[in-house]
Structure 1
Amino acid sequence: MSIMTAKTTGYRLQEVREQGQWDQFVASQPGGHLLQSWYWGELKATAGWFPLRLGLWDGHRLIAGAQILRKSAPRVPLRLGHLAYLPKGPVLAWEQPELCSIFFAQMHRYLRKQGALALRMEPEIDHESEQGELVIRRLTELSFHPTRSVQPLRTILLNITPSEETLLAQMKEKWRYNVRLAGRKGVTIRVATSLEDIQSWYTLMQTTGERDQFGIHTLEYYQRAWQLFAPQGALRLLLAEREGQLLAGIFVSLFARQAIYMYGASSNEQRQLMPNYLLQWEAIRWAREQGAHEYDFWGIPETEGEEEAMAGVYRFKRGWGGRVVQFVGGYEYVYNPFLMKFAHRYL
């Protein structure tokens, strides 16, 4: 469908500037995700991204939306060239081909005018589902091309609507044993209440990053995440302690009836007390009490081979009884192929 035809339908694309209106829409839609929430955009703004929330309206009704994060090369204004990145979105009824055509036609026009060199996105869609097949077909029809994913391509999702007894029964026996072992050995779980708690946890995060050889954000980034989400009831930092010693801690978010295990850190000491097992169980219990339907363990290796660097992480997450999901992956629509050749090295 052409842009001219899209104009005549009565649909209009414009920026959404009210946080409450945006989050209410995203959270109420199938597939609405934390990374499309208002405060996620505000968090990424502390890391050099510029959030843009575009909504497609049918009269006074918001019917589709996309939070787009924009970044340019150092000291280059956005209008002179930037990458537009759409994580875990858009929020869109993919089964309506005309709506998809209108939405992307208007969004492409808007982003081009703003100086975007390309739009990269990663829909929160199961590759193996019927919807996954539909989305891949739709994106191909709309001239998107597969590209490297930024977010994890695979994860483990646990349905947490059953009773606690059922959830415990679904775990591997060793996992149930370790949850109870931690409690018997005096490990306790509490909720972080101050920036000082975040700083103490960050010391463990540095230890974990060095031990497992992965990069971490700055202390200020995690503190900002806690400041933005925790007052809304959308995030908790759970801390595992024994006799006043901090052993481990995990950030768990809650948005659109989905909890996500976002960040985890643990000490090199007292690992035999199994604090990480009790932490995950208490996080699942909290999410369930808050009305969440699903717990996302957020990222596993792309294969199940023992040679994978994160094979141990996969085994830990797999033991809780969830199902492995692979998403459709990254897709890109390039507006300026010539400049994108140079932009890739910076963006």
Structure 2
Amino acid sequence: MTTPLSLRPITAQEHREFIARRSSASFLQTPAWARVKSDWRSESIGWHRGAELVGVGLVLYRQLPKVRRYLAYLPEGPVIDWSGDDLQAWLTPMVAHLKQQGAFAVRMGPPVVTRRWSAEQVKAGIADDAVRSLGDVPPLERSQEGARVIAQLHELGWQHQAAEGGFSAGQPQFNFQIPLVDAEGTPRSEDDVLKGMNQLWRRNIKKADKSGVEVVRGDATDLKAFHDLYAHTAERDHFTPRPLSYFETMYDALAAEDPDRIQLWLARHEGDLVAATIAIRVGTHAWYSYGASSTEKREVRGSNAVQWAMIRHALEAGAHVYDLRGITETLDSDDPHVGLIQFKVGTGGQAVEHAGEWDLPVNRAIYKAFQLYLARRG
């Protein structure tokens, strides 16, 4: 008979050591992320089978206005075995613990893939006027594990949430990823990855090189230069930038866990900063996290050069995946978001759908009031 799972709080050190023993986990489930999200109360929890630690989670608690009740949030987590037929054995002790901590609801994002599409399929979808979204395109692959997770969550009373910002700090359900290993798990060569890109990407990488764009890895002292360019990008592209202090905290917290966990990359042309990015890596998974580019000198293709430098670094570090993070589901050629998808599709990777974020109301009355509060804000 299998020993039942128990759950209790664990130290940041136990949490770090567990993740270090795995191939990878989302950086949003590392203890360091708690330091980045300092406006949320945080806790590391661990599942035990007997004395053995078999799963971990980073819980972020956001307090409701005026009452001591919390949304307990596990972004892109928890880090458990999602492949089995008995998710209830994992989730029941977690929910019981979070309820004791004052949670009126639990939100989590199972790190489980449900569908994949090739770059060619996405490109064809954008070109087809009859196609409005990824869901209109038959996928390259449907994940049985993903389908099994979703079926179990429905049975257990969890509710699927549309990804959104604000209070939920929702993570994207659709990402774009470049596989850095083949189907057998053999690392791909730089040349193979480059050949997988479209002609425009290859030409732009070559043009940046011929133009004399130099890409270097920076450090904490370069964050101000990155942030100045990022603020310029935010003004041009009409989004609200995060403050410099956020990036300083993020850099210090992640670098303290592992010197190669966070990298700052800078592309310069004749001394001018033309592009800058932040990359993150946990084990075999590398992410492009933030990017900035100058409006001037676009013709030297600094953005392509800096991406290629990050991809090459991920390959050298033994990563299996280079993750360009979120895309919208839309493939409508008139949608303003489609330009970002086209930029990412040019890398020759895959569009990947995850299970998304799921809520379990613990106190239904407070949860309903919370949803009304969100609707009024939204």
Task: Calculate the TM-score normalised by the size of structure 1.
Answer: 0.91
Match of residue 170 from structure 1: 196
Distance 1:9 1:167, change over 3 A: closer
1:335 positional shift = 0.7
Do 1:33 and 1:256's aligned partners in 2 also have CA atoms closer than 8 Å?
no
Which letter maps to 2:356? G
Which letter maps to 1:261? Y
Match of residue 4 from structure 1: none
Tell me, in whole angstroms, the C-alpha distance in 2 between the residues paired with 1:153 and 1:13: 28
Q: Could you tell me which of 225, 241, 260 is aligned with 2:268?
A: 241
Unaligned residue ranges in structure 2 (runs of 5+): 116-142, 164-169, 181-186
Match of residue 113 from structure 1: 100
Select between 31-40 and 250-259 the one with higher mean Cα deviation: 31-40
Q: Could you tell me which of 57, 68, 72 is aligned with 2:59?
A: 68
Select between 143-152 and 336-345 the one with higher mean Cα deviation: 336-345
| 1:79-118 matches, cutoff 5 A | 80-98=68-86, 100-118=87-105
Do 2:276 and 2:291's aligned partners in 1 also have CA atoms closer than 8 Å?
yes
Which letter maps to 1:206? A
1:264 positional shift = 0.3
1:148 positional shift = 2.1
Match of residue 41 from structure 2: 50
Match of residue 142 from structure 1: 156
Q: Could you tell me which of 111, 119, 125 is aligned with 1:124?
A: 111
Match of residue 13 from structure 1: 7
Tell me, in whole angstroms, the C-alpha distance in 2 between the residues paired with 1:72 and 1:213: 30
SS of 2:45's equivalent in the other structure is: strand
SS of 1:97's equivalent in the other structure is: coil
Do 1:28 and 1:256's aligned partners in 2 also have CA atoms closer than 8 Å?
no
SS of 1:298's equivalent in the other structure is: strand
Do 1:201 and 1:249's aligned partners in 2 also have CA atoms closer than 8 Å?
yes
Tell me, in whole angstroms, the C-alpha distance in 2 between the residues paired with 1:127 and 1:219: 36
Tell me, in whole angstroms, the C-alpha distance in 1 between the residues paired with 2:88 and 2:24: 19
1:219 positional shift = 0.8
Distance 1:117 1:30, change over 3 A: farther
Question: Does 2:307 match 1:275?
Answer: no
Do 2:220 and 2:251's aligned partners in 1 also have CA atoms closer than 8 Å?
no
Select between 282-291 and 307-316 the one with higher mean Cα deviation: 307-316
Tell me, in whole angstroms, the C-alpha distance in 1 between the residues paired with 2:233 and 2:64: 31
Distance 1:283 1:12, change over 3 A: same
Distance 1:237 1:22, change over 3 A: same
Q: Show CA shifts across 1:300-320 (max 9, x none).
A: 111111232221111111101
1:74 positional shift = 4.7
Q: Could you tell me which of 168, 173, 177 is aligned with 1:157?
A: 177
| 1:212-251 matches, cutoff 5 A | 212-231=237-256, 232=258, 233-251=260-278
Do 1:35 and 1:88's aligned partners in 2 also have CA atoms closer than 8 Å?
yes
Do 2:12 and 2:31's aligned partners in 1 also have CA atoms closer than 8 Å?
no
| 1:277-292 matches, cutoff 5 A | 277-292=304-319
SS of 2:313's equivalent in the other structure is: helix
Q: CA RMSD in A?
A: 1.8
Tell me, in whole angstroms, the C-alpha distance in 2 between the residues paired with 1:304 and 1:23: 39
Q: Percent identity?
A: 32
Q: Could you tell me which of 169, 188, 202 is aligned with 2:214?
A: 188
1:30 positional shift = 6.2
Select between 109-118 and 29-38 the one with higher mean Cα deviation: 29-38
Tell me, in whole angstroms, the C-alpha distance in 2 between the residues paired with 1:141 and 1:27: 33
Tell me, in whole angstroms, the C-alpha distance in 2 between the residues paired with 1:83 and 1:18: 21
Tell me, in whole angstroms, the C-alpha distance in 2 between the residues paired with 1:291 and 1:338: 48
Task: Calculate the TM-score normalised by the size of structure 2.
Answer: 0.84
Tell me, in whole angstroms, the C-alpha distance in 1 between the residues paired with 2:285 and 2:24: 10
Do 2:35 and 2:249's aligned partners in 1 also have CA atoms closer than 8 Å?
no
| 1:268-347 matches, cutoff 5 A | 268-344=295-371, 345=373
Number of matched pairs: 332
Match of residue 283 from structure 2: 256
Do 2:82 and 2:112's aligned partners in 1 also have CA atoms closer than 8 Å?
no
Select between 8-17 and 155-164 the one with higher mean Cα deviation: 8-17
Do 2:57 and 2:74's aligned partners in 1 also have CA atoms closer than 8 Å?
yes
